[in-house]
A and B are shown apart, each in its own frame.
Chain A
Amino acid sequence: MRGIFFIDGIEHEVEFQGDVTLLELLREAGHTDVKAGCHTGECGACVVLLDGELVNSCQVLAGSCIGAKVLTVKAIGDLHNPHPIQKALVDVGAVQCGFCTPGIVLAAYVLLKDNPNPTDDEIKTALDGNLCRCTGYVKIIEGVQLAAKRMNDNA
């Protein structure tokens, strides 16, 4: 089947099978920044924003979201113009192997959009679908708090 997807603002016309997940479609389209950790919706490495909502792309069938707007970490910021969330995570040492980091950035991004002053508990809940084995989460939470503070200071 064919369908149009808007990935990071760019229109993609894709030919794909009915059982293909959004994760597979994104990676085939070159978005290796969307990672595959388990394919069962349990690790969160594959999260993207689908029409503004954080979802596990491995749990979304592409056939059910034709025409949708997808945002990956590449839309949030890049090396030359990083988002404050990315900078804050880097500054506090919250990025070790980095495999979970794109997902963390997206989860934090959508949290701070709705809730610019989150408590630690609110951060933990927003990130509760993102597993990390390297950091123990301590500096990740610190990084999101720092990002919130910096974004509010600049607002």
Chain B
Amino acid sequence: MPEIEWFHPKTLSEALCSIKEKSAVPHAGGTGLLMGGLKRHVLVDLRGLGLRYIQEKANCYEIGAMTTYTDCSKALPRENILAIALGQAASTPLRNRITIGGSVAIAPMWSDSTGPLITLGARLKLAGDDSRVPIEEYLRELEYRKASIIEFIELPKIGGAGYYHRETRTSFDYPMFTLSAFAGGTSPRVVVTGVRGKFSRLDLAEKALTGELSIDEAVKNIRLEFPSKMQASAEYLAEIAVVEIRRCLNKLVGGQR
């Protein structure tokens, strides 16, 4: 196998240059790269660029891309669904390595970060670009992901009740699907991940949270499409995802009364 070369940039813009010009690959925690098998030959180490931090601001949390799952689950408020999701994902030593930036950049089908981030309306700042990209847009548009480095994630601070469920076999397992919901602010959000297309906003479920539909009406019309998976058949997943959505809505709507 050809030699892997390392580049240890001193600044974020040096890192970005090497990715754009030498088609190098950013290395954050490394777990995702190792899982896929090291293919590309120049790795750009993002350690030491000051990207591992969580800053509480007036209206949001600013989470540096190198912040680990463990960092997030400890620093964010306990009821925050991102904290809940990341605190259950994988295992302790893996949570100490998986970075939020790496997780979003790879965004695998079985991600634990995607659902809560979309649900909470997270936005990304990419290196060398001052704008804020809504995470859904980042995930849908391949152009964003090519030759870019996430610098930090902005997680809005809003009060309200949240819900997170990850469907796994045993507890140390990647999810077959995740269900995230947030019933605070002006518009509730319900997101399922692991479906065809990786993630889906469930507008029917959201209508049940606003009261526009009853839970029964909403749930009986939800149709989810899963690809077939190692863990379970697509048909089974579609049925029990609906069960979990109903449980989620019962909890949140019940809490609202």
Contacts and interface: CB of A to CB of B under 8 A. Distances in A.
B27 A61 contact: yes
A56 B97 contact: yes
Interface residues of B, number: 26
Contacts, number: 75
Interface stretch (B30-38, B152-160, B227-235, B240-248): B30-38
Q: Residue among B38, B92, B94 with the most chain A CB within 10 A?
A: B92
A63 B92 contact: no
B75 to A, nearest CB: 14
Contact of B43 (A40, A53, A63, A127): A63
The size bracket of the interface on A is 20 to 34
A129 B172 contact: yes
A64 B96 CA distance: 15
Contacts of B43: 18, 61, 63-64
Contacts of B30: 59-61, 64
A5 B92 CA distance: 23
B166 to A, nearest CB: 14
Interface string B12-45: 0000000000000001001101110010000101
B256 interface: no
B4 to A, nearest CB: 3
Given A59-B97, A60-B97, A64-B30, A54 B92 contact: yes
B4 A55 contact: no
Contacts of B94: 41, 56, 59, 129
A64 B47 contact: yes
A18 B5 contact: yes
A47 B93 CA distance: 7
B1 interface: yes
Contacts of A21: 34
Given A44-B91, A55-B93, A128 B34 contact: no
B92 A107 contact: yes
Contacts of A17: 3-4
A54 B95 CA distance: 9
12 contacts: A17-B3, A18-B5, A18-B43, A21-B34, A44-B93, A53-B96, A55-B96, A61-B27, A61-B43, A65-B47, A129-B90, A129-B91
Interface of B: 1, 3-6, 8, 27, 30-31, 33-35, 38, 43, 45, 47, 70, 90-94, 96-97, 171-172
